[in-house]
Every structure is written in C-alpha cells, then in structure tokens.
Amino acid sequence: MFLHKLTALLLAFTLMGGCAGDDRKPEADPVPEAPPVQQEQTAPEAEAPETEADAPQAEPTPEPRDITLRLTAVGDNLVHNTLSFDSRVEGGYDFMPIYGPIAHKIEGSDIAIVNQEVPLDGTVGGYPTLSAPAEVADALKAVGFNVATLANNHMADKGAAGLKATIENLEARGIHTAGAHAADLPGTLMLEKQGIRIGILSYTYGTNSGLGDAGWVIDRISTEQITRDAEILRPQCDFLIAAMHWGEEYQRTPSAGQKAFAQKLADLGVDLILGSHPHVMQPAQWLTGKGGNETLCIYSLGNFTCDQRDQDRMIGALLTCDLTFAPDGTFLGYETAALDGVVTHCTWGSKNFALYMLEDYTEELAAQHGLHKHQKPISLAFFQERMAGMKESITR
C-alpha cells in the first residue's frame, strides 16, 4: 500500500517537471547597443573683423591758428626836472603816481614802445641838458613797457656816460633799447613774441650836443644807413617798425620831407612808422609800399609826458594795434588800429603830475590844471577836438 503511494507521488513530480519545461519562453537575442552618438563639434565662433569705427582713433591734429599780437606805442617821455622834483620820496624817487593811472592801457601788450626822450643817468637835469633818475625806468617797466627807442635829440645831453647809463638802467629792468648803442654793436633790435619776430629801427634827425666818445653812437636819419639796416633786418623779421624822430617842433601837420621819407620807408617794407619830436600830435596815414605792402605811419604821437606850458603839448596819442600773423609768421594785416588821447595833468606850481586817458579826464580836472595859473588856455573840449582829428586820420 505504502509502495503504491510512493510510486504515484514520484510519477506526479515527473509530470510536473515536464510541464514546466514546455512553458519557458526562448531567450531573446541580445539587442545590440546603439553606437555612441557623436557630439557635433562646433567650431569656435570667429571674431568679427575690427572695423575702422571700432579701432582706437588717433587724436586729430588741430589746425594751426593765426597769431594775434597786441602792440602799443606812445611818444616823447619828456621828463623835465619838475616831474622829478614832484616824484621825490624818502631815499629816492617814485614815478608811479605819474604813470600808474594809464597802466591798464599798456599792461598785457606783447610789444609796448616809448620814446625815452631824456637820459636816465640818475641825475636831475634842467633844460637844455635834460636828464632824470633811473627810477623812471622802474615805473615804465611796472606799467608794461618793454621797448625804449633812444634815437632823439636829447639823448646826448649827458654825453657818452649818460647814454651808457641810460642803456644799462633800461636793459637791467627788462626794457630793450634801439637807436643808440656801442659802436661795435648794431642799433637795430629784434624781439620774438609767440614765435613772431619783430624788428625795430630807430633814428633821429640830430642831437643837441655831441657824445664826446667815438665808441658810442646815436643813429641818424640817413637814406643810405636806413636802407642798409632795413635790407638786413627785413628778411629776418615778420614785422618791421621804424621809430623816426623828425619834423618841425610844434607843427600839427607833417612836412613834405616827412611825407617823402615815410614813403621811402614803406617802399623798404617797413610795416609801422612811429613819429616823434614835434611835441604835438600829427595825423596818421596809410601808405602802400612798392611791394604792395600796407604801412601805417603816425607822423607824430606828440608828448607822452612833459611840463611844457601849452595845452597842445599836454595831450599825446597812444597807439593800440592788434596785428595778425599766419602760423608761418606771414603778416596778414592790422586787425585793429586805434589812437587814444593821454593828458598830462598837473596842478599849480608843477605839482601832482599824473597821466590820464582822455576818456577818464573830466571838466573838474581841466579846471584845476596848472596851466590856468600861467594864464594859458586849457580845456577838455580842446583835448577832445584834437583827438577827434587824430582818430579820423587812422580810420580806413
């Protein structure tokens, strides 16, 4: 019985095993792996070529500009002994009360010219041999003058020693001189301002006395000498000035000789003629040189300062010019040219000397002028009338 049961059980297990083998699914073939995807290699972005606009720009070269110089000029600085007496201070002299009131018209000039009519040798000399203290040069420098012309009839009044001292006293203060010099040196002057070369000539008709020393010279008006000097200096400079001490004293109109010589100077290429010596103003004239150049001639600027007892001698002219030059130095012309009046004021007894621009002078000051005490006429209206004629003469 037991044996039959065991046999049946074994048979059942066998049948079960067969059924299990039939139910299995066949093993699928392995799926081949996809090859790795190649990442597309993108080329690095090329930089855009640099354009002209992106490139750093060089600073543009500025266009060369024209150059303008300011020139001022006055006439005879006729320092009579009374002006020196009035300027005495403890330990010396102070001339600033005389010159100071017109400083605003001189200051800032590139070239400021005065005709120094008397020797500045440190002495005080009365007419006819005039001289003045060196402190005059201090005041001239302080108000802005940088050039003094010395060829005039009083420059030999104290001989060669007086002339030598004058040159030394002016040059020591930075005021350049022209027209009087040691015999082995030229009397011409060359200055450079803002790259522009200014040449200056200075001559006189004569002197009141001799120098007494052949080693010193005051240049005289002579066609031969002036032609020689101009022919040497003209090619070297951009603007040429001639200071001429000429004409007849106290005459308001230029002589035929002045006019003829002015034309000669224009023909030599002189750009500006500054006249002195008559002690009164003479008109301006525009001339044309044979080379087509334009020349401005002031036949006489009159007195800058003085103690001459006549109202016509108590007013002088101050010339102001703006000169224009191309960058290469070529003179392009007068941008402006004007004349203004300068009045020498004083009170009774030759006291309280002072210079006033005519525009600042008043009826009250005219009424106080010392000339009234000398029974001499003087009026603001007279000064204004004289200057009106000068202004008209320079107008083009």
Q: Could you read off the pLDDT of 80-119 as tens digits, one per residue? A: 999 999 999 999 999 999 999 999 999 999 999 999 999 9
pLDDT single digits (tens) 112-169 = 999 999 999 999 999 999 999 999 999 999 999 999 999 999 999 999 999 999 999 9
Q: In the predicted model, what is the mean pLDDT of residues 259-277? A: 98
CA-CA distance, 63 to 114, in Å (whole number)? 36
Residues 6+ apart with CB under 8 A from 192: 198
Residues 6+ apart with CB under 8 A from 332: 66, 324, 325, 326
CA-CA distance, 323 to 332, in Å (whole number)? 8
Q: What is the pTM of this model?
A: 0.85
Domain boundaries, the chain: 67-394
* Banded pLDDT at 4 (limits 50, 70, 90): very low
pLDDT single digits (tens) 164-213 = 999 999 999 999 999 999 999 999 999 999 999 999 999 999 999 999 99
Domain 67-394, CATH = 3.60.21.10
